[in-house]
Structure 1
């Protein structure tokens, strides 16, 4: 998706800059700080990279393609795992295995909302959805959290019902094998989802991977229930079912926290510190003002105000803004665009250039 130029409103030397990466950096920028900027530009030339729109679009499509591939592979593996377990549930009557099976099936089905989100995320921005459709991933994360909650309620209901109306578990060796199959399938899927999710910056996919990892350990709990039943402890199976419910509740808490943070535009504070350090090293930047980062799907956008020489020309201020955005693109992982606003350094007796905006500030 290409970034568009926005109208510039210059009051004095104040300058807002949203660079269009579909264009070249070849337009002239006379510099008063030419010697300091030369080193930065030589580094730009000697370091292979590209910020072209096509490259960014390809990167976004590649990320979505990797996410889609992870989803469908996970769906196949967990679907096969749940099918094997379901066959054993029918013959054994184990509610612990039933809870694990339902949870694995629900985990496999979470590929559907995430798949829809990744497909939507590929769509270009419109005049209504000016930032594109990347936030569909956050909605998918919410659906996943609700799915985890529903599976927890079902597992708890089945376990409590079996405690009230005890029944023996049949075919215990088959239950034990099904538990091991559940652990192996979930652990493989967890590693795969977490690795891909972190690589493409998808919080929803990482949350889904953490969910699958917990499912693997709940499968091992089924093994304990089968062992207890083999020793004649009839309540072992439903008690393990309740333990599985507690484990599901824990992963629900972690997943809900991660999705809530993403929906509230939370970012790692260390990432903000890293961006500020990079901006302070840009030639011509005297100070860094307000810096904001936000996730849109699995990509980041930034807004920042930098202080430049008050006597700089419009072209010089624009050049500093370009260099500032360039530094951010190199420093902040998965950043696709930055809106840089250049403020003139204050001089003695000069009024605040933003004074006319003061009455619009939030109380």
Structure 2
């Protein structure tokens, strides 16, 4: 679709700078590493050691998230015409892999301590420190996940979920160390640490799956499709109709393409004005959305020969998108 030189730039291309959340994650990771390492040094608990190891992984992941968000925020260039929003998916994949590293360290250490149990010391102060670190991680995790949902950032969602696994780890460690204090059976510490490691692996698998889906141009969520198709159905009136709807997302960016079939006698100006109004309505409904439309004459059979094999259905079962409407 062509546009006049005086057309204002579409606001949908605006992205939000999310790097401040990555800096928050880095600061939190440094604070929790310091707290948990001190707790491990005082108690000798393998559970606390595994907890501190995961926080170290959190720091590395937070730095990777900062790099990814910095790259994703760069504007489009002649080489990257659609920007670099997909850098966020690489960050999420790295987060998932780092979770596997943390889980491996925890599992190996837990097995070694189960075979060679050792008495724990200074449990009271050690547990207090872990509780403080867990509260800090939990608050920041909620902030990151909320921001990730609000701005459609997989990097922040992944970092928040990563921190939340740290909270789960800490909760497991607290249970294990508490049971050791109550029962005197030192191997409980290692068993709980092992269970926590398995739980972290499950989280890592979920993050990797989400990152891979994004890199493979996953479609927009069903809720967004409902909003789009509702608008297109309301505008289908026998003289104008639509087909070939496709969508995808890349980080904060969301994209859609659709074929717009209009009366043959419309002028280019008429069609252009109609599409501008349609795109404005779609952006108003969905916020940040890049809309690409393809204008076609409604009665030309060739207009029905280029429908993509994979597309989102717009109309009901009684509507055949491959045939011109009957009047």
Using structure 2 for the length normalisation, give the TM-score. 0.86
User: In the TM superposition, what are the counterparts of 1:237-316 in structure 2 within 5 Å?
Assistant: 237-266=189-218, 267-282=220-235, 286-316=240-270
Q: 1:81 to 1:23 in 2, by over 3 A?
A: farther
Distance apart, 1:275 and its partner CA: 0.9
Which segments of structure 1 move beyond 6 Å, counting only runs of 4 or more? Answer: none
Aligned residues of 1:324 and 1:340 also touching (Cα < 8 A): no
Distance apart, 1:354 and its partner CA: 6.2
Distance apart, 1:56 and its partner CA: 5.5
Deviation readout 1:58-83 (Å, 9 max, x if unpaired): x42xx12xx21111112112210121
Q: 1:192 to 1:353 in 2, by over 3 A?
A: closer
Distance apart, 1:104 and its partner CA: 1.8
Tell me the C-alpha RMSD between the 2 structures.
2.4
Question: Aligned pair 1:171/2:122, yes or no?
Answer: yes
Aligned residues of 1:18 and 1:340 also touching (Cα < 8 A): no
Question: Aligned pair 1:194/2:148, yes or no?
Answer: no
Distance apart, 1:353 and its partner CA: 4.1
Distance apart, 1:361 and its partner CA: 8.3
Distance apart, 1:19 and its partner CA: 5.4
Distance (whole Å) between structure 2 residues aligned to residue 252 and residue 77 of structure 1 = 20
Secondary structure in 2 matching 1:352 = helix
Distance (whole Å) between structure 1 residues aligned to residue 199 and residue 48 of structure 2 = 14
User: In the TM superposition, what are the counterparts of 1:219-234 in structure 2 within 5 Å?
Assistant: 219-230=170-181, 231-234=183-186
Secondary structure in 2 matching 1:288 = strand
Distance (whole Å) between structure 2 residues aligned to residue 361 and residue 340 of structure 1 = 17
Distance (whole Å) between structure 2 residues aligned to residue 306 and residue 71 of structure 1 = 41
Equivalence for 1:207: 158
Equivalence for 2:297: 344
Distance (whole Å) between structure 2 residues aligned to residue 208 and residue 201 of structure 1 = 13
Aligned residues of 1:307 and 1:344 also touching (Cα < 8 A): yes
Distance apart, 1:91 and its partner CA: 2.6
Using structure 1 for the length normalisation, give the TM-score. 0.78
Distance (whole Å) between structure 2 residues aligned to residue 140 and residue 256 of structure 1 = 10
Distance apart, 1:108 and its partner CA: 2.8
Distance (whole Å) between structure 1 residues aligned to residue 31 and residue 273 of structure 2 = 57
Distance (whole Å) between structure 2 residues aligned to residue 247 and residue 351 of structure 1 = 56
Q: Return 5+ residue gaps in structure 1 as ranges.
A: 1-16, 25-50
Aligned residues of 2:88 and 2:155 also touching (Cα < 8 A): yes
Distance (whole Å) between structure 1 residues aligned to residue 131 and residue 184 of structure 2 = 21
Q: How many residues get paired?
A: 307
